[in-house]
Amino acid sequence: MIPNAVAITPELVAEHGLKPDEYQRILDLIGRVPTLTELGIFSAMWNEHCSYKSSRLHLKTLPTSAPWVIQGPGENAGVIDIGDGMACVFKMESHNHPSYIEPYQGATTGVGGILRDVFTMGARPIAALNALRFGSPDHPKTRHLVAGVVAGIGGYGNSFGVPTVGGQTGFHTRYDGNILVNAMAVGIAKADEIFYAKATGVGNPIVYLGSKTGRDGIHGASMASAAFDDKSEEKRPTVQVGDPFAEKLLLEACLELMQTGSVIAIQDMGAAGLTCSAVEMGAKGDLGVELHLENVPCREEGMSAYEMMLSESQERMLMVLDPAKEKQAEAIFRKWGLDFAVIGYTTDTLRFVVKHHGEVMADLPIKELGDEAPIYDRPHIQNEFPPAIPAESVKAPLSTAEALVKLVGSPDLCSKRWIWEQYDHLILGNTVQKPGGDAAVVRVLDGPKGLAMTCDVTPRYCEADPVEGGKQAVAEAWRNITAVGGLPLAVTDNLNFGNPERPHVMGQFVGCIRGIGEACRALDFPIVSGNVSLYNETNGVGILPTPSIGGVGILDDVKVHASLAFKAAGEAVILVGETKGHIGQSVWLRDVCGREEGAPPPVDLAVEKRNGDFVRALIKARRVTTVHDLSDGGLAVGLAEMAMAGRIGAKIAAPAGASAAHGYWFGEDQARYLLAAAPAEAERIVAEAKAAGVPAVVIGTTGGDALTLGDEAPISIEKLRRAHEDWLPGYMAGPDAVVAA
Amino acid sequence: MKAAVVVFPGSNREQDVIRALRVGTGHEPVKIWHADADLPAGTDLVVLPGGFSYGDYLRCGAIAGRARIMDAVRAHAARGGLVLGICNGFQILVESGLLPGILMRNAQLRFLCKMQHLKVERTDTAFTRAYAPGQVIEVAVAHGEGNYEADEETIRRLEGDGRVAFRYCDAAGLVGPETNPNGSTHSIAGIYSEKLNVLGMMPHPENLIEDLVGGTDGLGLFRSLSAA
């Protein structure tokens, strides 16, 4: 057992991730030297992961309210009103550092944590999504990390019983030493039965529920608040182990318990475990908390107060219960085979008191633990903006057809079937649009409503121009929801960046936040929950700035939705939005020409809204058969995806203007959609678009078994499909498999 | 038609099959807790739903196969009562001795969720009479351990007695290694007991009961049962 009365040396303080000035702040706050347990509690509460000390100042600038927002950031998850007395509860959270060290367990506990955040609020999870970033496919660890993370996400979600319906996976050498695993969960609750962390009433029992506490994950949150070096693997013991079976039982027991009216407050034990959850419940309710640790159910004997307070063992909950209903609550947990222990009481002292066998191990002011955490306005500088690259200035090394086949079979744009087939995306029987489309569509209960959900960001845009990149991430999520017929309602953000102590990284962060804020305001798309992951850096090299945007939208009648597959031959293909041929930062320039350069496409938010609202109205009126938003790879890749999904080809006219052909086919201009409709209907749509000031033009006709782009030779759908479907399974089979074949 | 759906700790497709029973048979099934001793009086059909009972931490279905309610399920089956085990339910049926063989890890060693064609091998049972002879249906598979294996003698008897219920195939009904998603012997996706009153199957007909959500090819199984 670690004794509580050890000398607090500068080395010990540093090992707890606290800077000398932060330690001085502790001394000033409590007026004495802290005990070891208290030092541990401060390190848990004041690390970057829990305190948001580098980001808080900037996060405050984000729009978080709208008439339909029930709960914005600050609780376990965001809550929005979706009508009919129902609420949607959702959040995204990262598990980046642990997933690099131990991919399977890192990913499982990421999924487990976010599911717990959602059902802590009283919601039953109905869908999960994820945004994954891996290093270069050539990096020796990438295959191992992809296999482990994907198996881990599936292993947890499949067993827990939530469909994993969507996400995003990308590869880039800047993630070689720091992969990103961002997990998102979406749940449904009754709008007037949402549960919060705020404790009320003095002398109410604080109850520990769920799995037992072990020594796993101690300092997990501190690990996630530091950069990596070559010795990162030694941090493996700080990674927790997931138990989806325990979580499934916890879900059922919690939801059953909530029905009894006995739950006053509830908080899951996530990062920094018992410490963070107990302090939050007390501080939010202006109450003190007294814990008696000898009552904590432990997996191992001889655990010290320090270890219990910092353990990040999974599948645990803390609740404040109505004392009159304690026995009833206990019976429910016993039925599900879960631990139930009264480990403390609320008090009126505003102190956070931790006792172990009668001995006081910690006695701290509860409000100040959170409120007085350091907050930094870190220096930030704006990098120089790269110059715009005119399409005409670039010579195309491949024909349009050759480039298209290469792009649809590239690591970033290839089919991710190998990944999502390992996720149960059909359980619960409400998956109306499964992975592979613009956004997933999930029916709410027995309908008629549905939810559209998506995860998006284009990190190379954010690197080149953080403000435009931040805007684009939000705009693309909004566009993807629109493309399936959803009305975008709200956002959860997962802001992944490098080391904030580097001014240029902090500059990326500040810029992206500004762009995200502008876009969310312009598109009525407030942020209701989120998570910040900093220090994604190894040996001084940081990741691309990656603010993942998880968007949720509503479909009033889920039967009226759109998908990207061509439905029939002989339909007119309509391009909505202006095509200028913006080639800077395009995947064509990067993957075909080998140049990762230039300014990203600018985002005009007013145009986004105008074009998107126009398209959504067409879907709602059932006037179009097929809708796809244009993003990576531009028009040509969009057309190929529609043809491959529907197994119906198309013949598309060459561009009328004189601009370079590759700019037309592969430029990544924003605010664009492709639609298909019966020819006569298409004419009416184009006329109406003109009247509404929306650029729209018929560019071709569906049909046949090949895609013909302008004057180029037709590309068979079979050839496109082979390139698109074969890359990832072939890659994952490993270099040896190629030799063996 | 009175159906009882057994819920084990870790079951997670019980709501899916309850909905399918409601839609397909027009009757609301009852939920039974694994620790109960008895089935409700007059139960015609017992359903063991999909999921990860007890986390599948031992062998899939091994602990659930020994749950208290399973004695009642075995007695029900011995009386000729109908039992349907889907996915984890199939695994529980083989672990409880109600069906022969075992479900091994998928040949490719990965969990697999996708749409899959099945050949309905016979249409004269309580589970399949609403299907047309030789019909090929498309339903979902979602499992990590659905690779059906049994000793040669058992396979010979299953085949000889017409106890293979469904076989993995392609859209045209062709059966072969390239249409076998998990390596199952003879592409077996589901089997009957000797008296044809117990069916275990890996695929999920309960998720294919509506055009809006993937199709209606699974509905035939529940419509068949409505006559029971």
A394, A397, A398, A400 alpha-carbon torsion, rounded to 10°: 10
Cα A140 to Cα A217: distance, rounded to the nearest angstrom: 27
| Residue in the block written with tokens 């759906």 | B5
Domain of B85, CATH number, reads 3.40.50.880
Dihedrals phi, psi of A520, to nearest 5 degrees: -65, -40
| Residue in the block written with tokens 């609780």 | A75
Inform me whether the pLDDT recorded for A49 exceeds 90. Answer: no
The secondary structure of residue A594, as a DSSP letter, is -
Among residues A16, A58, A95, A724, the one annotated as catalytic is A95
Bridge partners of B142, per DSSP, are B113
CA B198 to chain centre: 9
pLDDT single digits (tens) A82-130: 999 999 999 999 999 999 999 999 999 999 999 999 999 999 999 999 9
Q: Which residues in A lie closer than 8 A to residue B116 (C-beta atoms)?
A: none
Instruction: Please tell me if residue A158 touches chain B, with a CB cutoff of 8 Å.
Output: yes
The secondary structure of residue A716, as a DSSP letter, is E
Determine contact, residues A95/A159, Cβ cutoff 8 Å. no
Q: Check residue A740 and give its pLDDT.
A: 34
CA angle at A425 for the pair B202 and A457, rounded to the nearest 5°: 155
A-proximal residues of B, 146-165, CB under 8 Å: none
Distance from CA of A565 to the nearest CA of B (A): 15
Q: Do B113 and A426 touch (CB under 8 A)?
A: yes
Determine contact, residues A709/A617, Cβ cutoff 8 Å. no
pLDDT single digits (tens) A363-404: 999 999 988 899 999 999 988 889 999 999 999 999 999 999
Q: Check residue B67 and give its pLDDT.
A: 96
Q: Is B186 a catalytic residue?
A: no
Determine contact, residues A141/A106, Cβ cutoff 8 Å. no
Q: Which residues in B lie closer than 8 A to residue A151 (C-beta atoms)?
A: 110-111
For residue A561, give the nearest of A620, A601, A475 by alpha carbon: A620
Dihedrals phi, psi of A282, to nearest 5 degrees: -70, -50
Give exposure, A176-209, as e/b (b: 16+ Cβ within 10 Å). bbbbbbbbbbbbbbebeebbbbbbeeeebbbbbb
Cα A220 to Cα A216: distance, rounded to the nearest angstrom: 9
Q: Record the tokens describing residue B36, joined without a space.
A: 């109960």
Q: Check residue A225 and give its pLDDT.
A: 65
Start-end of H helices in chain B: 14-25, 69-78, 88-95, 152-160, 219-226
DSSP string, A616-658: HHHHHTT--SEEEE--TTHHHHHHHHHHHHHT--EEEPPPSSS
Could you tell me what percentage of chain B is helix, strand and coil, using 3-state DSSP and rounding each to the nearest 5? 30, 25, 45
Cα A163 to Cα A428: distance, rounded to the nearest angstrom: 7
Mutate to test the interface with A, among B18, B108, B113, B219 (most CBs of A within 10 A): B113
Inform me whether the pLDDT recorded for A233 exceeds 70. Answer: no
Inform me whether the pLDDT recorded for A739 exceeds 60. Answer: no
Determine contact, residues A353/A363, Cβ cutoff 8 Å. yes
Q: What is the mean pLDDT of residues A349-357?
A: 96
Instruction: Please tell me if residue B55 touches chain A, with a CB cutoff of 8 Å.
Output: yes
Q: Record the tokens describing residue A367, joined without a space.
A: 């409000």
Q: Do B12 and A160 touch (CB under 8 A)?
A: yes
The secondary structure of residue A366, as a DSSP letter, is H
Model confidence band, residue A199 (pLDDT cutoffs 50, 70, 90): very high
For residue B98, give the nearest of B82, B114, B112 by alpha carbon: B82
Q: Which residues in B lie closer than 8 A to residue A244 (C-beta atoms)?
A: 52, 55
Inform me whether the pLDDT recorded for A236 exceeds 90. Answer: no
Inform me whether the pLDDT recorded for A433 exceeds 50. Answer: yes
Which H helix or E strand runs over A40? Answer: helix A36-46
pTM: 0.96
Q: Is B145 a catalytic residue?
A: no
The secondary structure of A404-430, three-state, reads HHHHHCCCCCCCCHHHHCCCCCCCCCC
Cα A118 to Cα A185: distance, rounded to the nearest angstrom: 7
Among residues A16, A49, A219, A724, the one annotated as catalytic is A49
Instruction: Please tell me if residue A57 touches chain B, with a CB cutoff of 8 Å.
Output: no
| Alpha carbon distance, N-terminus to C-terminus of chain B | 6
CA A101 to chain centre: 20
Among residues B87, B95, B121, B145, the one annotated as catalytic is B87
CA A39 to chain centre: 32
SS3 state of residue A738: helix
Inform me whether the pLDDT recorded for A575 exceeds 90. Answer: yes
Instruction: Please tell me if residue A333 touches chain B, with a CB cutoff of 8 Å.
Output: no
Model confidence band, residue B35 (pLDDT cutoffs 50, 70, 90): very high
For residue B10, give the nearest of A117, A186, A337, A689 by alpha carbon: A337
Which H helix or E strand runs over A461? Answer: helix A459-464
What percent of chain A clears pLDDT 90, i.e. is strictly above it? 89
Give exposure, A465-500, as e/b (b: 16+ Cβ within 10 Å). bbbbbbbbbbbbbbbbbbbbbbbbbbbbbbbbbbbb
CA A649 to chain centre: 34
Inform me whether the pLDDT recorded for A737 exceeds 60. Answer: no
Inform me whether the pLDDT recorded for A738 exceeds 60. Answer: no
Q: Do A245 and B54 touch (CB under 8 A)?
A: yes
Neighbours of B41 (CB within 10 A): 6
Q: Is A357 a catalytic residue?
A: no
| Residue in the block written with tokens 């709501």 | B15
Please state which of the ranges A188-202, A262-276, B167-181 shows the lowest mean pLDDT: A262-276
At position B88, the amino acid (one-letter code) is N
Q: How many domains does chain B have?
A: 1
Give exposure, B62-76, as e/b (b: 16+ Cβ within 10 Å). bbbbebebbebbeeb
Q: Record the tokens describing residue A467, joined without a space.
A: 């403000």
Mutate to test the interface with A, among B12, B19, B28 (most CBs of A within 10 A): B12
Please state which of the ranges A227-241, A409-423, B164-178 shows the lowest mean pLDDT: A227-241
Q: Check residue B50 and give its pLDDT.
A: 98
Inform me whether the pLDDT recorded for A57 exceeds 60. Answer: yes
- Residue A151 region by backbone torsions, left for phi larger than 0, else alpha for psi between -120 and 50, else beta: alpha
| Residue range of the domain that includes B61 | 3-226
Burial of A141 (0-12, 13-18, 19+ CB in 10 A): middle
- E-assigned strand segments in chain B: 3-7, 30-33, 45-48, 82-86, 102-104, 112-120, 136-143, 147-149, 164-169, 188-192, 198-201
Question: Which residue pairs, CB below 8 angstroms and at least 24 apart, start in A256-261?
Answer: A256/A332, A256/A336, A257/A319, A257/A329, A257/A332, A257/A333, A258/A122, A258/A193, A258/A195, A260/A325, A260/A328, A260/A329, A260/A332, A261/A322, A261/A325
pLDDT single digits (tens) A271-319: 788 999 999 999 999 999 999 999 999 998 999 999 999 998 999 999 9
Instruction: Please tell me if residue A647 touches chain B, with a CB cutoff of 8 Å.
Output: no
Model confidence band, residue A229 (pLDDT cutoffs 50, 70, 90): confident
The mean of the pLDDT values for chain A is 94
- E-assigned strand segments in A191-255: 205-210
For residue A473, give the nearest of A535, A527, A533 by alpha carbon: A527
Cα A405 to Cα A512: distance, rounded to the nearest angstrom: 33
Cα A311 to Cα A624: distance, rounded to the nearest angstrom: 54
The mean of the pLDDT values for chain B is 97
Q: Check residue A241 and give its pLDDT.
A: 85
Inform me whether the pLDDT recorded for A3 exceeds 80. Answer: no
Model confidence band, residue A736 (pLDDT cutoffs 50, 70, 90): low
